[in-house]
Amino acid sequence: MDTTSAASALTAPEAITRRRATRKFDASRPLPDELLKRILSLATHAPSGFNLQPWRFLVVRSAASRRSLRACAYNQPKVEEAPVVVVVLGYHTPYQSHLDEIVAQSVALGAYSEEVGKAVRASAYQAQEYVTDRKHWATRSTMLAAATLMIAAESLGVSSAPMEGFEEQKVKAAFGVPDDHSVCCLIALGYSTETPKFPGRLGLSEVCYEDHFGRPWTLGEA
């Protein structure tokens, strides 16, 4: 079975610094089922408000489905070259369908007492009722899961390519995605045919402020 053992898996810092967006995948090399399940499982450990877990993963694997998805993604070749493409969806109202189950699981696992669980449920429901932009709310946590998925994949030796080039309505129509879900991004998974060089990142002095927006960062670089 073509999987990466725990002993050979990269650490989180290694996976974060080594990950590159793959431009070309080896179309002849499949992604093993057990490895795919491991990556998706790790992605579900991303954080979310009230643990509502609004991410949903539409896993596109068949050649015909990837061909259909490519037509929704500006004909990008990697959509068909990669053995798997994950359509990352943000579910707008998980509190209406899953809040009771989520709280009950937390209580059963000892994360909450029964009393605290009831309080959390009430607080979560009330807070969610005040949310006016459901799409924006769902996207925030879902993109944390998308990032977690890519880091998990890299740590296990699997290349990834996040894609924002797609037509959301076409994707939803082609794959039956309901209106209460948003298409946040596509992530191709597989094995790269190249080793992209590090393109660089802006330094901390360019992206960090200290205590107030615009106030210069004083701690220097890492």
| Residues 20-32 pLDDT 10s | 999 999 999 999 9
E strands present in 123-199 = 159-163, 181-190
The Cα 46–Cα 139 span in angstroms is 13
Residue 166 pLDDT more than 50? yes
Residue 25 — left, alpha, or beta (φ > 0 → left; ψ -120 to 50 → alpha)? beta
In contact, 49 and 148? CB cutoff 8 Å: no
Q: What is the mean pLDDT of residues 109-116?
A: 96
The encoded tokens of residue 153 equal 């994949």
pLDDT tens-digit map of 41-53:
999 999 999 999 9
**117-138 residue pLDDT tens:** 999 999 999 999 999 999 999 9
Compute the mean pLDDT over every residue in the chain, rounded to the nearest whole number.
Answer: 95
Interacting residues of 75 by C-beta distance below 8 A, sequence separation 6+: none
Q: Tell me what the mean pLDDT of segment 60-85 comes to.
A: 98
Reply yes or no on whether the pLDDT at 3 is more than 50: no
Give which of 92, 77, 88 is closest to 171, Cα–Cα: 88
The residue type of 179 is: D
Query: Mean pLDDT throughout 37-63?
Result: 98
How high is the pLDDT of residue 5? 52
- Give the residue among 146, 139, 149 at the shortest CA–CA distance from 37: 149
> Which domains, from first to last, does the chain contain?
12-197 (3.40.109.10)
Which residues, 6 or more positions from 8, have their beta carbon under 8 angstroms from its beta carbon? 157
